[in-house]
Amino acid sequence: MCEIGDRLGFHERNGGNASYHLLPEEAKSAKKRLAKKKTGPWVDIGTSVPELGGDLFLVTGSGKFMRNVAYDPEVNICLAELNAEGTQYRIRWGLSKGGRPTSEFPTHLMNHEVKTRLTGGAYRVIYHAHPPQLIALTFVLPLRDRDFTRALWNTMTECPVIFPEGIGVVKWMVPGGRDIAVETSKLMAKYNNVIWAHHGLFCAADSFDNAMGQMETIEKAAHIYNIVHSMVPKPRQGITSEGYLAIARDFHLEISKRFL
Ligand code: 13P
Ligand code: ZN
């Protein structure tokens, strides 16, 4: 996922980050295998995720380049273990030349917490990238869920199939802290994809394929929107509300009717 995202131009320098919430059986086996290894010190997360206490996360390192993850995972990512209260982490493996988990760890963990609660643990992956066409669109459209959902759904018939719940938008905020994590995780209760204005996109999914698939689809939709609106100020035609309802019926989807 890190490599493909880089190839698609989503990860300039250290832009973007990713985390995977280990399944209970994976965490158990990892803890057993790492039992005799030296662990890092406990470090404050900067927020609290009590529902994830004791869990393990594979997470990219802050300042590390996504293009280097597959090439040298031990240096660029780590396995972080949370304390029982979900307020601190310690490194159990990885970041072998030093470092710490992504500066967006608070957002990743708060998103994992809400998704774990709402999907019964089915969602395991949080992926953040800086896709250029979508970022460009955040300078043009009103920063509202409805405007982005309508604009992106309308670009490709597959869009309402891939994100029938719509898409959330967080206005510009300082990244890397608890405040933006709280705003993002509130929207993750309603959506699987949340835009950060003038910054990028967060995707939550049950697999790496789906996280990447959502990122790619949303960026492609933004690209089509930008092409069409560079050609004409007002497109001649598009998908109708009846069309969306017909898609929902035939694909057995729960489409957010408030966006029709
Ligand atoms: P990190 O290198 O800390 O992951 O930061 C990259 C980024 O995209 C911040 O939003
Ligand atoms: Zn970012």
Q: From the CB of 175, is ligand 1 less than 6 Å away?
A: yes
What order do you get walking across the sheet with 168-170 strand by strand? Answer: 43-44, 88-94, 77-82, 56-60, 17-21, 125-129, 200-205, 193-196, 168-170
Count Cβ atoms within 10 A of the Cβ of residue 76 and give its class: 0-12 exposed, 13-18 middle, 19 or more buried.
buried
Q: Which atom of ligand 1 is nearest to the CA of 103?
A: 3
Give the DSSP letter of residue 41: P
pLDDT at 231: 98
Q: Whose CA is nearest to atom 1 of ligand 1?
A: 62
pLDDT at 169: 99
Which of 62, 75, 172, 202 for a ligand 1 pocket mutation test, highest count of atoms within 8 Å of Cβ?
62
CA dihedral 128, 131, 134, 139 (to 10 degrees): 100
The pair phi, psi for residue 225, each rounded to 5°, is -55, -45
pLDDT at 233: 92
Distance 21 CA to ligand 2 centre (A): 20
Q: From the CB of 14, is ligand 1 less than 6 Å away?
A: yes
Q: What is the pTM of this model?
A: 0.98
Residues with CB under 5 A from ligand 2 (ion): 200
Give the DSSP letter of residue 28: H
Contact 222, 134 (CB under 8 A): yes
242 is catalytic: no
Each of the 260 residues of the chain gets a pLDDT tens digit; together they read 999 999 999 999 999 999 999 999 999 999 999 999 999 999 999 999 999 999 999 999 999 999 999 999 999 999 999 999 999 999 999 999 999 999 999 999 999 999 999 999 999 999 999 999 999 999 999 999 999 999 999 999 999 999 999 999 999 999 999 999 999 999 999 999 999 999 999 999 999 999 999 999 999 999 999 999 999 999 999 999 999 999 999 999 999 999 99
Please, what sign has the CA dihedral across residues 51, 29, 126, 63? positive
pLDDT at 153: 97
pLDDT at 36: 95
Q: Which two tokens stand for residue 218?
A: 């949303």
